[in-house]
Structure 1
């Protein structure tokens, strides 16, 4: 298996793409420590691509990913064509998942959380560069430790972590 060093970001392409673009802008900004190796820069899909072609491209991106970020917006839990498939693939491939609530919640929002990850070992954060970067740096190892001990279910960072990050 090739070395996996990318971050796969899953989102509602119709309503939440601006959050993904903001994450990319954070990465480009020299005044912020936010950084990630974006899995979406590997292969580009076209609007005319078939579902099978798109899923094959997404599978290639997932194969190069060490962590999966799910941007959870108002409609995310209803998306079954690609978002649900991506989440299921991440679970099947044992890729640590970070659920990022776009409504500011710092823990799992059961009303918005996609059913595919509702009971899984996933850490939830709010949408902010500092806490997302913290999760990108810490969650993969935390996930492995928790999984090895048989833990399941939602996780979140307590207020002291947010305070330490200036949030």
Structure 2
């Protein structure tokens, strides 16, 4: 079994690629303290990527190395079942901590946009802010390990965490 140190990012590839690209951009800048080991760098898709079964097999292999998952929640994420819902279901089944990142910058669950499959499933809901994402990547997986999984809820950080990170707005 390989060491699980990757972050698996789930997003709407048609509408929210900009957010994923921005995260990769933050990671690439040497003067910015932001890093994550992207599970999507593993097992690149080949020309067989037109087959749904092939894509799901590759995504499954990538997720098997993940210690956490980020779902970028945009306007249409909750309506995507073919891959997004499938990926979220796999993360829940494998007890992978889910960091729900609201692209509209809500600091807690946005009931209008959150995919129903992760409502009340011990995900943490945060805004799309670099320092907050970095904080959640470091903080939430260890906290998730301590949870009583028979109790399910939607998590968010207190205002004091945002203040300590200089995110007062």
Q: Residue 100 of structure 1 corresponds to which residue in structure 2?
A: 101
Which digits, 9 at most, give the CA deviation of each residue in 1:71-108, with x for residues without a partner?
00000000000000000000011100000000010100
| TM-score of the superposed pair, with normalisation by structure 1 | 0.96
| TM-score of the superposed pair, with normalisation by structure 2 | 0.95
1:14 to 2:42 alignment = no
Which digits, 9 at most, give the CA deviation of each residue in 1:125-147, with x for residues without a partner?
00011000000001011111123
Rate the CA distance shift 1:123–1:47 in 2: closer, same or farther, 3 A. farther
Query: Matches of 2:45 and 2:120 in 1, distance apart?
Result: 31
Q: Residue 152 of structure 2 corresponds to which residue in structure 1?
A: 152
| RMSD, matched Cα | 1.2
1:61 to 2:65 alignment = no
- Mapping of 1:1-167 within 5 angstroms? 1-46=1-46, 49=49, 50-147=51-148, 150-167=150-167
- Segments of structure 2 that go 5 or more residues without pairing to the other structure are none
Structure 1 runs, 4 residues or longer, greater than 3 Å off: none
Per-residue deviation, 1:161 = 0.5
**Does structure 1 retain, via aligned residues, the 8 Å contact 2:48–2:54?**
no
- Segments of structure 1 that go 5 or more residues without pairing to the other structure are none
Secondary structure, in 3 states, of the residue corresponding to 1:124? strand
Secondary structure, in 3 states, of the residue corresponding to 2:121? coil
